[in-house]
C-alpha cells in the first residue's frame, strides 16, 4: 500500500484540479453543463484514482487505477484543446495547461512503470 499524500503525481494533480476549476470560470455560461462539467470531472478523476488505487493491496491493482488516472489526463487534454478551438482560452493559457498536463501524464506513466506487476 502506498501513501498517496506523499506522491508527487497526486499532489500535482490536485494542483491541476484547482487550476482547471479557476480556468473554467471564464467560460461562457452556456458551457456550465457541457465542457465545464466534463473538464472538472476529468480533472478530479486524476487524483481521485491515484488515491483510490494507492489503497489497493497489490501493485497490479494500483497500476490499473493509474491507467484510469492517465486516461482522465488524456481526456482533459482533449477537452482543453476543444476549449482552445472554441476560443474560450488564449493560446498562452492553452500552452501553459498543455505543458502541465503533459508533464503529469509522463509522471503518472513513469510511476506506473516502477510498480511490480
Closest CA to 55 of 10, 93, 14: 10
Q: Are 69 and 45 in contact (CB under 8 A)?
A: yes
pTM equals 0.94
Angle at 17 between CA 26 and CA 87, to 5 degrees: 30
Number of domains the chain is built from: 1
Domain carrying residue 49:
4-114
* pLDDT tens digit at each of 117 positions of the chain: 678 999 999 999 999 999 999 999 999 999 999 999 999 999 999 999 999 999 998 999 999 999 999 999 999 999 999 999 999 999 999 999 999 999 999 999 999 999 976
CATH code: domain of residue 99: 1.20.1440.60
Amino acid at each position: 500500500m502506498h501513501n498517496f499524500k506523499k506522491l508527487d503525481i497526486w499532489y500535482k494533480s490536485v494542483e491541476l484540479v484547482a487550476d482547471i476549476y479557476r480556468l473554467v470560470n471564464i467560460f461562457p455560461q452556456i458551457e456550465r453543463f457541457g465542457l465545464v462539467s466534463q473538464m472538472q470531472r476529468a480533472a478530479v478523476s486524476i487524483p481521485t484514482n491515484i488515491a483510490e488505487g494507492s489503497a489497493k493491496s497489490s501493485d497490479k491493482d494500483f497500476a490499473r487505477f493509474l491507467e484510469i488516472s492517465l486516461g482522465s489526463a488524456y481526456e482533459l487534454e482533449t477537452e482543453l484543446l476543444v476549449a482552445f478551438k472554441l476560443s474560450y482560452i488564449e493560446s498562452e493559457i492553452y500552452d501553459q495547461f498543455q505543458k502541465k498536463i503533459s508533464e503529469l501524464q509522463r509522471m503518472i506513466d513513469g510511476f506506473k512503470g516502477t510498480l511490480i506487476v
